[in-house]
Amino acid sequence: MSFTVISAGVTNHGRVRSNNEDNLYFSGKYLAPGTLDLKTIMCSTQGTEDPVCAAVFDGMGGENAGEKASLTAASVFAECVDALDTVIKAPKDFLREACYTMNRAVVDQARSQNLGQTGTTAAILYLWQDMAYICNVGDSLIFRLRDNVMKQISKSHTNAEFLKSQGLTGRKPTLTQFIGVPEDEMTIEPYVAKGRLAPGDRFLVCSDGLTDMVSMEDIADCLYHAPTPQDAVANLADMALNAGGKDNITLIICEISPEG
Protein backbone atom coordinates (compact mmCIF):
# COMPACT_ATOMS: atom_id res chain seq x y z
CA MET A 1 0.00 0.00 0.00
CA SER A 2 1.26 3.47 -0.83
CA PHE A 3 0.27 7.04 0.01
CA THR A 4 0.70 10.53 -1.37
CA VAL A 5 3.01 12.84 0.59
CA ILE A 6 2.31 16.58 0.41
CA SER A 7 5.33 18.45 1.75
CA ALA A 8 6.49 21.99 2.44
CA GLY A 9 9.75 23.35 3.82
CA VAL A 10 11.49 26.61 4.60
CA THR A 11 14.56 28.06 6.31
CA ASN A 12 15.20 31.52 7.76
CA HIS A 13 18.31 32.88 9.46
CA GLY A 14 16.17 34.57 12.13
CA ARG A 15 16.43 38.03 13.67
CA VAL A 16 19.73 37.72 15.57
CA ARG A 17 22.19 35.54 13.65
CA SER A 18 24.06 37.02 10.69
CA ASN A 19 24.39 33.68 8.90
CA ASN A 20 22.40 30.47 8.53
CA GLU A 21 24.05 27.34 9.92
CA ASP A 22 20.98 25.21 9.16
CA ASN A 23 20.50 23.15 6.03
CA LEU A 24 17.86 20.75 4.79
CA TYR A 25 17.18 18.01 2.28
CA PHE A 26 13.89 18.44 0.48
CA SER A 27 12.70 16.73 -2.70
CA GLY A 28 16.23 16.11 -3.94
CA LYS A 29 17.51 19.58 -3.08
CA TYR A 30 19.61 21.18 -0.33
CA LEU A 31 20.70 24.76 0.37
CA ALA A 32 23.52 26.27 -1.64
CA PRO A 33 26.48 27.74 0.30
CA GLY A 34 25.72 31.14 1.79
CA THR A 35 21.93 30.81 1.64
CA LEU A 36 20.38 33.01 4.34
CA ASP A 37 16.69 32.48 3.68
CA LEU A 38 14.39 30.79 1.21
CA LYS A 39 12.33 33.54 -0.40
CA THR A 40 9.53 31.11 -1.18
CA ILE A 41 8.35 27.98 0.61
CA MET A 42 9.47 24.75 -1.03
CA CYS A 43 6.57 22.44 -1.94
CA SER A 44 6.31 18.95 -3.37
CA THR A 45 3.86 16.08 -3.90
CA GLN A 46 5.29 12.57 -4.11
CA GLY A 47 4.06 9.00 -3.84
CA THR A 48 5.51 6.51 -1.37
CA GLU A 49 5.92 3.74 -3.94
CA ASP A 50 9.49 5.09 -3.93
CA PRO A 51 11.17 6.42 -0.77
CA VAL A 52 10.32 10.02 0.14
CA CYS A 53 13.02 11.62 2.29
CA ALA A 54 13.15 14.88 4.23
CA ALA A 55 15.90 16.01 6.59
CA VAL A 56 17.04 18.96 8.69
CA PHE A 57 20.64 19.72 9.72
CA ASP A 58 21.65 22.29 12.36
CA GLY A 59 25.36 23.08 12.23
CA MET A 60 27.60 24.25 15.04
CA GLY A 61 31.12 25.64 15.30
CA GLY A 62 33.04 28.90 15.19
CA GLU A 63 33.10 31.32 12.25
CA ASN A 64 31.33 29.58 9.34
CA ALA A 65 32.29 26.05 10.43
CA GLY A 66 28.72 25.13 11.40
CA GLU A 67 27.44 26.26 8.03
CA LYS A 68 30.05 24.09 6.31
CA ALA A 69 29.22 21.07 8.48
CA SER A 70 25.48 21.20 7.78
CA LEU A 71 26.09 21.76 4.06
CA THR A 72 28.45 18.79 3.90
CA ALA A 73 25.96 16.57 5.73
CA ALA A 74 23.09 17.65 3.47
CA SER A 75 25.08 17.14 0.26
CA VAL A 76 26.36 13.73 1.36
CA PHE A 77 22.85 12.69 2.39
CA ALA A 78 21.61 13.72 -1.06
CA GLU A 79 24.23 11.44 -2.60
CA CYS A 80 23.09 8.59 -0.34
CA VAL A 81 19.47 9.06 -1.43
CA ASP A 82 20.48 9.20 -5.10
CA ALA A 83 22.29 5.88 -4.67
CA LEU A 84 19.00 4.23 -3.63
CA ASP A 85 18.20 4.05 -7.35
CA THR A 86 20.94 1.46 -7.81
CA VAL A 87 21.41 -0.14 -4.39
CA ILE A 88 18.59 -1.83 -2.47
CA LYS A 89 18.93 -1.43 1.30
CA ALA A 90 16.63 -1.98 4.25
CA PRO A 91 15.47 1.49 5.40
CA LYS A 92 16.96 1.23 8.89
CA ASP A 93 20.30 0.08 7.47
CA PHE A 94 20.24 2.91 4.94
CA LEU A 95 19.60 5.52 7.63
CA ARG A 96 22.36 4.28 9.92
CA GLU A 97 24.87 4.00 7.08
CA ALA A 98 23.94 7.48 5.84
CA CYS A 99 24.69 8.89 9.31
CA TYR A 100 28.07 7.15 9.45
CA THR A 101 28.90 8.40 5.94
CA MET A 102 27.91 11.97 6.84
CA ASN A 103 29.90 11.73 10.07
CA ARG A 104 33.09 10.71 8.28
CA ALA A 105 32.65 13.47 5.69
CA VAL A 106 32.18 16.19 8.33
CA VAL A 107 35.16 14.95 10.36
CA ASP A 108 37.37 14.80 7.25
CA GLN A 109 36.33 18.32 6.25
CA ALA A 110 37.05 19.72 9.71
CA ARG A 111 40.52 18.18 9.69
CA SER A 112 41.45 19.16 6.14
CA GLN A 113 40.26 22.76 6.56
CA ASN A 114 41.40 23.19 10.19
CA LEU A 115 37.89 24.08 11.31
CA GLY A 116 38.38 22.90 14.88
CA GLN A 117 35.43 21.46 16.80
CA THR A 118 32.46 21.47 14.46
CA GLY A 119 29.48 19.32 13.62
CA THR A 120 25.80 19.21 12.85
CA THR A 121 22.62 17.56 13.99
CA ALA A 122 20.63 15.35 11.64
CA ALA A 123 16.91 14.60 11.74
CA ILE A 124 15.66 12.41 8.89
CA LEU A 125 12.19 11.27 7.84
CA TYR A 126 12.02 8.35 5.38
CA LEU A 127 8.56 7.46 4.04
CA TRP A 128 8.17 4.32 1.96
CA GLN A 129 5.07 2.36 1.01
CA ASP A 130 2.94 2.35 4.18
CA MET A 131 5.76 2.94 6.69
CA ALA A 132 7.53 5.88 8.28
CA TYR A 133 11.15 5.48 9.35
CA ILE A 134 12.87 8.17 11.37
CA CYS A 135 16.48 8.71 12.33
CA ASN A 136 18.25 11.40 14.29
CA VAL A 137 21.58 12.36 15.82
CA GLY A 138 21.56 15.42 18.08
CA ASP A 139 18.62 17.58 19.11
CA SER A 140 16.82 18.47 15.88
CA LEU A 141 13.37 17.02 16.39
CA ILE A 142 10.72 15.00 14.56
CA PHE A 143 7.06 15.08 15.57
CA ARG A 144 3.97 13.26 14.34
CA LEU A 145 0.48 14.72 14.59
CA ARG A 146 -2.24 12.07 14.52
CA ASP A 147 -5.85 12.44 15.69
CA ASN A 148 -5.02 15.92 17.05
CA VAL A 149 -2.26 14.52 19.27
CA MET A 150 1.32 15.62 18.61
CA LYS A 151 4.07 13.25 19.72
CA GLN A 152 7.84 13.60 19.56
CA ILE A 153 9.07 10.49 17.76
CA SER A 154 12.77 11.36 17.66
CA LYS A 155 15.19 11.07 20.59
CA SER A 156 17.06 14.13 21.84
CA HIS A 157 20.75 13.40 22.35
CA THR A 158 21.39 15.95 25.11
CA ASN A 159 22.24 16.08 28.81
CA ALA A 160 18.80 17.50 29.65
CA GLU A 161 17.94 14.71 32.09
CA PHE A 162 21.24 15.17 33.93
CA LEU A 163 20.67 18.92 34.23
CA LYS A 164 17.16 18.29 35.52
CA SER A 165 18.43 15.80 38.11
CA GLN A 166 20.90 18.43 39.33
CA GLY A 167 18.24 21.13 39.51
CA LEU A 168 19.91 23.10 36.71
CA THR A 169 16.73 23.69 34.74
CA GLY A 170 17.74 27.16 33.57
CA ARG A 171 20.64 25.93 31.44
CA LYS A 172 20.32 25.00 27.78
CA PRO A 173 21.20 21.31 27.40
CA THR A 174 24.35 20.41 25.48
CA LEU A 175 24.59 17.67 22.85
CA THR A 176 25.84 14.23 23.84
CA GLN A 177 26.36 13.22 20.21
CA PHE A 178 26.16 14.78 16.76
CA ILE A 179 27.37 14.33 13.19
CA GLY A 180 31.07 15.20 13.17
CA VAL A 181 32.49 13.18 16.08
CA PRO A 182 35.83 11.50 15.25
CA GLU A 183 35.53 7.72 15.43
CA ASP A 184 38.56 7.49 17.72
CA GLU A 185 36.67 9.62 20.27
CA MET A 186 33.23 8.02 20.11
CA THR A 187 31.10 5.93 17.80
CA ILE A 188 27.84 7.75 17.16
CA GLU A 189 24.63 5.80 17.75
CA PRO A 190 21.86 7.15 15.49
CA TYR A 191 18.36 6.73 16.91
CA VAL A 192 16.21 4.83 14.42
CA ALA A 193 12.53 3.92 14.72
CA LYS A 194 9.60 3.02 12.51
CA GLY A 195 5.81 3.15 12.48
CA ARG A 196 2.91 2.58 10.13
CA LEU A 197 1.47 5.51 8.21
CA ALA A 198 -2.15 6.61 8.49
CA PRO A 199 -4.09 9.03 6.26
CA GLY A 200 -4.05 12.49 7.81
CA ASP A 201 -0.72 12.09 9.59
CA ARG A 202 1.40 15.22 9.64
CA PHE A 203 5.12 14.97 10.32
CA LEU A 204 7.26 17.93 11.40
CA VAL A 205 11.05 17.88 11.09
CA CYS A 206 12.69 20.98 12.56
CA SER A 207 15.72 22.64 14.10
CA ASP A 208 15.63 24.05 17.63
CA GLY A 209 15.23 27.53 16.19
CA LEU A 210 11.53 26.64 16.10
CA THR A 211 11.13 24.62 19.29
CA ASP A 212 13.13 27.07 21.44
CA MET A 213 10.88 29.93 20.34
CA VAL A 214 7.42 28.35 20.10
CA SER A 215 5.72 26.20 22.75
CA MET A 216 4.76 22.60 22.04
CA GLU A 217 1.11 23.53 22.53
CA ASP A 218 1.27 26.28 19.93
CA ILE A 219 3.14 24.08 17.46
CA ALA A 220 0.56 21.32 17.84
CA ASP A 221 -2.31 23.78 17.48
CA CYS A 222 -0.82 25.20 14.28
CA LEU A 223 -0.13 21.74 12.84
CA TYR A 224 -3.73 20.73 13.49
CA HIS A 225 -5.53 23.83 12.26
CA ALA A 226 -3.45 24.91 9.24
CA PRO A 227 -5.32 23.96 6.03
CA THR A 228 -2.18 22.79 4.21
CA PRO A 229 1.45 21.93 5.00
CA GLN A 230 2.45 25.13 3.19
CA ASP A 231 0.23 27.18 5.50
CA ALA A 232 1.57 25.36 8.56
CA VAL A 233 5.20 25.98 7.55
CA ALA A 234 4.56 29.67 6.90
CA ASN A 235 2.67 30.14 10.17
CA LEU A 236 5.23 28.31 12.33
CA ALA A 237 8.16 30.22 10.82
CA ASP A 238 6.33 33.50 11.46
CA MET A 239 5.60 32.45 15.05
CA ALA A 240 9.29 31.73 15.69
CA LEU A 241 10.33 35.06 14.15
CA ASN A 242 7.69 36.99 16.09
CA ALA A 243 8.89 35.35 19.32
CA GLY A 244 12.36 36.77 18.75
CA GLY A 245 13.94 34.57 16.08
CA LYS A 246 17.06 34.08 18.22
CA ASP A 247 18.36 31.18 16.12
CA ASN A 248 18.13 29.92 12.56
CA ILE A 249 14.72 28.40 11.82
CA THR A 250 14.31 25.40 9.53
CA LEU A 251 11.29 23.14 9.24
CA ILE A 252 9.67 20.63 6.92
CA ILE A 253 6.10 19.34 7.19
CA CYS A 254 4.90 16.20 5.40
CA GLU A 255 1.20 15.31 5.22
CA ILE A 256 0.03 11.79 4.41
CA SER A 257 -2.91 11.48 2.01
CA PRO A 258 -4.49 8.39 0.41
CA GLU A 259 -2.92 7.45 -2.94
CA GLY A 260 -4.74 8.99 -5.91
Structure confidence by residue, pLDDT tens digits, 107-116 = 999 999 999 8
State the pLDDT at residue 253. Answer: 99
> How confident is the model over 16-31, as pLDDT tens digits?
999 999 999 999 999 9
Number of domains in the chain: 1
CATH code of the domain containing 167: 3.60.40.10
Q: Give the global pTM.
A: 0.96
| Count of Cβ atoms closer than 10 Å to residue 173 Cβ | 17
State the pLDDT at residue 96. Answer: 98
State the pLDDT at residue 167. Answer: 76
State the pLDDT at residue 161. Answer: 82
State the pLDDT at residue 260. Answer: 58
d(CA 103, CA 215): 31
Domain around 44: 3-258
> How confident is the model over 109-156, as pLDDT tens digits?
999 999 988 999 999 999 999 999 999 999 999 999 999 999 999 999
Q: What is the mean pLDDT of residues 248-254?
A: 98
Check if the beta carbon of residue 122 is closer than 8 Å to that of residue 73.
yes
